[in-house]
Structure 1
């Protein structure tokens, strides 16, 4: 039996996800096996596709089974610009190679990672309120506190045991708006957190607690929307709430450790880091209770190394997953095999055509995702269906330009 899977072609494809795009990498081999991965260049990462295309010539003629060799070669030639967009390109390539290798061996990808240690993974409903409040394609839309109350009840009634929301503000008529200066929604490079922001966030979480019920685990994501001072003010404001975790992003390990010391709720972070070296200062400074790993960005094989380092520091991991169904499956295999798993993120509100563009969709029962046993990642995009939903110019990078008065 020929154990080689020589790469003969590499393509990137994309389609609309209404307010942003899905992006896919397709690697074909001479033996007929096709490997797929999903990547993203909406989330502050323009140019991942261009970086991949610059590296294609180093893939053609290589044996896809030797994914660690290929990753090492690509890291060598991109070392001066490692991390960022380049790191995400390497992650996308690695994930497609893993899909090829698993299909060649006729096994699920989790077998390449040491085998599964769980058959199902607990998931939490991410962007609860957020999508329905911001994007027309997600229904029913949420405009005021009544919609917040209803979606909290939905999460409970549909069997989910955890939900995550973001920072929302309420006006005098109880209409809501998302507060996100870290992403350019409200132009405030100082990212100052005034008392009204803190009070409204606390009210928002209390409303969700009241209607989701006492047994629901509630998570809140502060993103990049403050600096150390503002995060400290927020965690103090929320200290009397029973939260599963407070999630936030910052690039100062010691500052994050200080915030953790002042929070009575667990702190989760690190979803924007790429490579084990970037994670180590946060582990050494005991900056987080839970380390969030973006496996599409890092590559699942490299993410297992990151998770092993977290395990050495007695730290659990979770995965960053707000993409399409292929990313969910990639994350599911990581979650199936990693020992120190806390929980898995997933978006429950989906666009109408999500089920049309993938061969298989995640199976979720009573708030748990069942790990698929199909070869490879267990799903792939349907090329013909992608063409029905051409890419759009939307998302974080295409919002209105700020103007000074």
Structure 2
């Protein structure tokens, strides 16, 4: 619900339509709507704050077709929820199948544009509209995007752990579960120019994972923007003998102008993009020489925009690995992109991730089969739309609990702020 209640056609665009049509009698039947070129229309939009830290969106239509999206900024879910409510003023009463036109209006129709909140609100709406379109046409979204370009999608599993022994044990468990790739945090808190001991800790942890994986599996290392440019320049060459699949966010996005210097300093493939929100944000980054672009389907404008970012990346020989430590709807949308774009590399997914205490993405699905991974791969979804059936009753129950998740705030020993 949006504060005072569900946004409905009656509360918004219906009134305007009646005024323009001169009589409410014209709206009594579906055939009369079609006479005026309206067709299927959006009748309601609801958002649900659900544990552990997600926001789900349900868009209903007058034909009974429902689409689901996941518009969220982790730690700012209520803010994104308010943005979705504002955008609903435009969407209620509109034809949900005019996805591209809606994307253009929602992103550009306001004087102030861009940023994580608006882009994430639009992203979840876009996911839900594609879900509706697929269900209306009886096809999975990837079929509407030109059809699949692969038969299965490689996914990786997250591991936690602080010591070499812990990360090795957790990696072994993922190998036994069939995964051929894992991702790990490169470090905890890091100083601007840290000690040789801290540098050695990073290398030792990655080395322990590599020893378990052998040469036929992969490890990706997430620096999480915790490293300064100087520290990344120091650490990356030391990781080269361990052959990471990629190192993620070697610097914060605000230092993207320095990426070309970092690319020149190492042979390790560099990846970033979870905190970039449009093709315009990616434009200069793609020119820097990164190897992997990581837009998030719940942050970077949804399926529509990530498909465009993937095409831009292909022109620079950059692979796509969608960022997705989120819930089932975001993952379902990511997989639709993964099956549709030729330069896809690997898919993040959050089953068992350490952020999800007490809740899992499978808790919100009627059928968990779409997220059953075999030999570290996801099968091509055959169901219409996003290819999942959201358990609406479970969502509504969880929304009664809600959440106020916030990321930790770290401080260095001297009391100054440190990147989390």
Q: TM-score range by the shorter chain?
A: 0.7 to 0.9
Contact in 1 for aligned 2:42/2:93 (Cα 8 Å): yes
TM-score, length-scaled by structure 1: 0.85
Gaps of 5+ in 1: 134-142, 169-178, 182-187
Is it true that 1:6 corresponds to 2:41 in the alignment?
yes
Greater Cα shift, 202-211 or 356-365 = 356-365
Distance 2:122 2:99 in 1: 11
TM-score by length of 2: 0.82
State the shift of 1:119 in Å.
Answer: 2.0
Equivalent residues of 2:107, 2:113 under 8 A apart: no
Q: CA deviation at 1:376?
A: 0.7
The verdict on how the C-alpha distance between 1:274 and 1:395 changes in structure 2, with shifts beyond 3 A counting, is same
1:150 to 169, 172, 190: 169
Match of 1:316 among 304, 315, 319: 319
Tell me which structure has the larger Cα radius of gyration: 2
- After superposition, the CA RMSD in angstroms is 2.4
Contact map agreement 2:71 2:125 (CA 8 A) in 1: no
Q: Is the aligned partner of 1:103 residue 2:135?
A: yes
Instruction: Report the CA distance between 1:226 and its aligned residue.
Output: 2.0
- Check 1:404–1:161 CA distance in 2 against 1; reply closer, same or farther (3 A cut): closer
Question: Which residue is equivalent to 2:329?
Answer: 326
More strand by share: 1
Note if 1:291 corresponds to 2:300.
no
Moved more, 347-356 or 304-313: 347-356
Given the alignment, which residue of 376, 380, 391 partners 2:402? 391
CA contact (8 A) 1:45 1:84 kept: no
The equivalent residue for 1:160 is 179
Is the contact made by 1:156 and 1:213 (CA closer than 8 Å) also made in structure 2? no
1:57 matched to 2:60? The reply is no
What residue number does 2:259 align with? 256
- 1:16 matched to 2:51? The reply is yes
Distance 1:307 1:77 in 2: 24
Return closer, same or farther for 1:37/1:160 CA change in 2, 3 Å cut-off: same
Q: 1:363 is matched with which residue: 353, 368, 372?
A: 372
Deviation for aligned residue 1:404: 4.7
Q: 1:118-173, CA deviations, whole angstroms, 9 ceiling, x for partnerless residues?
A: 121011113x11xxx5xxxxxxxxx75543222111122222111110034xxxxx
How many aligned positions are there?
369
Number of the residue aligned with 2:383: 374
Q: Deviations over 1:219-246 (max 9, x none)?
A: 1000110221121112123233221111
Compute the displacement of 1:371 (Å). Answer: 1.6
Kept in 1, the 8 Å contact 2:56–2:68? The answer is: yes
Distance 1:226 1:293 in 2: 20
Q: What is the match of residue 336 of structure 1? A: 339
What is the distance in 2 between the residues matched to 1:379 and 1:192?
46
What per-residue deviation string (whole Å, max 9, x for no partner) do you get for residues 336-366 of structure 1? 0001111111123165554332123312100
- Quick one: structure 1 residues 15 and 45, their matched pair in 2 at CA, closer, same or farther if it must change by over 3 Å? closer
